[in-house]
Structure 1
Amino acid sequence: MPPGTHILILGGTAEARRLAAALTARPGLRVTTSLAGRVTSPRLPPGELRVGGFGGPGGLGAWLREHRVAAVVDATHPFATAISAGAAEAAGATGVPLYALRRPGWSAGPGDLWHEAHSLADAAALLPALGRRVFLTTGRLGLAAFAHLDGLSFLVRSVEPPEPPLPRHTVTVTARGPFTVEGERELLRRHRVDVLVTKDSGGSATVAKLTAAREAGLPVVVVRRPPAPAGVPTAEDVPGVLALLSRAAADRCP
């Protein structure tokens, strides 16, 4: 990539921070990471930083033109569907190349008792038949899908305090990964959890809960990822994204 190339990273994940570090280590590149601003004390990446929304795809497109962005990398959470869709629309309108960084999802292994759901509402519908004490690790948003389950008790863990409405019988824990298997075992035991609910976030920071649930023989409701926008070149790790960017830069050279 030639000196002066401006790359925008739509961030908020560990992979986004690692990508920013890799790109800022290359001389002459300008790297800006955009954060949604939903976390009070986020882990900040190297390079330039922008916090807050763009005002929709039109606002993002205007920002790309104004700041002469040469490429956008969508390294947001796999469930940040609105941001990903908006980035695809803005890239299509401006002609700025868009790439996606998506860590692989989790897969069930021997001994796992997984039940797949395609939404939080689907997950809530499965719970009454699976357990009474629920460890809910789907983040602080969208908990209204479980609010009607008065007969169940919930342990809700999220980085920031969850937003209401919440289930009537809820204990909240604010914590940020990575988590250890030993710590997750103790949490399950202390709260007498008998079913786990998680999004298929992938990665290693929060996978320990799945190991602890397997060891305890607990059922796990896994909310599968929504599909990514079609036609966006995607890599599973930082080296893969760097290869995509380098290949695109080489193709643009005469």
Structure 2
Amino acid sequence: MLVLGGTGEARALAALLDGDARFDVTLSLAGRTASPLPAPGRTRSGGFGGAEGLAQWLRAEQVDALVDATHPFAAAISGHAAAAAAATGVPLLALRRPGWTPGPGDRWYPAATLAEAAGLLPSLGARAFLTVGRQDLAVFADTGVFCLIRSVDPPAVPLPRDHHLVLARGPFGVDDELRLLRDHRIDVLVTKDSGGSATAAKLTAARERGLPVLVVRRPPPPPGVPVAATVEEAAGRLRALPG
């Protein structure tokens, strides 16, 4: 079984199945993080060369099941996974944690794309906490808004002219996020609807400070791909596969 990873759920699924004699699990990482967290079992790093390259790897390694447990916004690799599964006949399962939902006191402003979010940002604040991932920062370079950027590794794309970069790895607590917002005088939060608890503290902090939150909606999974919402659900579906 090949698990396309990069998320905590991917690692958890690999760990859960690594001790099961029915599974021989390979966890694939994109290789974009310089020092990834340790992972259970066998791992590989780097791309496959698109859908065709992934299909060739599935055939060569005689893979019986493919799990797309990539980030909810990794639309390109999800599309490649769907195409490769269709070309090889390998069963595909997407593991997607549920998105966030606004609660009482939240001031959320949805955006369909990063470009739409960048266009809306100047109308919502002058000092933004920009948490969209280091590969998607360039679209905000010309907003004229101060951007506080937090990343595990230094970004390699054009950054907003007025910015401050913090290199740190989560998870982060609410007190940490409140301190960050206060120290940098942040008046708007920008985030992707990634879901999960690891980075949700920033939403709580924004609510406590009454800040607007610009939320980029996640893309849907490829049509026809079954989706599991939890690691346990994914493991149950995989164990139910024939053979």
Same fold (TM over 0.5): yes
**Contact preservation (8 Å) 1:139, 1:159:** no
CA deviation string 1:161-183 (max 9, x = no partner): 12221110010111111110000
CA deviation string 1:50-88 (max 9, x = no partner): 100001111111110111100000000000011000000
How do residues 145-156 of structure 1 correspond to structure 2 at under 5 angstroms?
Answer: 145-150=139-144, 152-156=145-149
Q: Normalising to structure 2: TM-score of the pair?
A: 0.98
Matched, 1:208 2:201: yes
| 1:194 aligned to which of 187, 190, 200 | 187
| 2:47 aligned to which of 35, 46, 53 | 53
Matched, 1:131 2:129: no
**Contact preservation (8 Å) 1:61, 1:90:** yes
Identity percentage of aligned residues: 62
Specify the alignment match of 1:170 in structure 2: 163
Paired with 2:30 and 2:239, the residues of 1 have a C-alpha distance of 27
SS in 2 for 1:30: coil
Unaligned 5+ residue runs, structure 1? Answer: 1-6
Matched, 1:233 2:221: no
Specify the alignment match of 2:65 in structure 1: 71
Specify the alignment match of 1:4 in structure 2: none
How do residues 70-149 of structure 1 correspond to structure 2 at under 5 angstroms?
Answer: 70-149=64-143
**Contact preservation (8 Å) 2:72, 2:218:** yes
Name which of structure 1's ranges 207-216 and 156-165 shifts more when overlaid on structure 2.
156-165
Specify the alignment match of 1:3 in structure 2: none
Specify the alignment match of 1:160 in structure 2: 153
1:246 Cα deviation (Å)? 1.9
SS in 1 for 2:149: strand
**Contact preservation (8 Å) 2:26, 2:41:** yes
Paired with 1:207 and 1:37, the residues of 2 have a C-alpha distance of 25
Over the aligned positions, Cα root-mean-square deviation in angstroms equals 0.9
Specify the alignment match of 2:14 in structure 1: 20
Matched, 1:29 2:23: yes
The residue identity in structure 2 corresponding to 1:221 is: L
Find runs of 4+ consecutive structure 1 residues off by over 6 angstroms.
Answer: none
Paired with 2:172 and 2:72, the residues of 1 have a C-alpha distance of 19
1:22 Cα deviation (Å)? 0.6
CA deviation string 1:121-165 (max 9, x = no partner): 111111111110000000101211111122x21101122112221
| 1:9 aligned to which of 3, 6, 9 | 3
Paired with 2:92 and 2:217, the residues of 1 have a C-alpha distance of 24
1:44 Cα deviation (Å)? 2.6
Size of the aligned set, in residue pairs, is: 243
Paired with 1:121 and 1:174, the residues of 2 have a C-alpha distance of 24
Paired with 1:104 and 1:176, the residues of 2 have a C-alpha distance of 22
**Contact preservation (8 Å) 2:119, 2:143:** no
**Contact preservation (8 Å) 1:144, 1:165:** yes
1:28 Cα deviation (Å)? 4.6
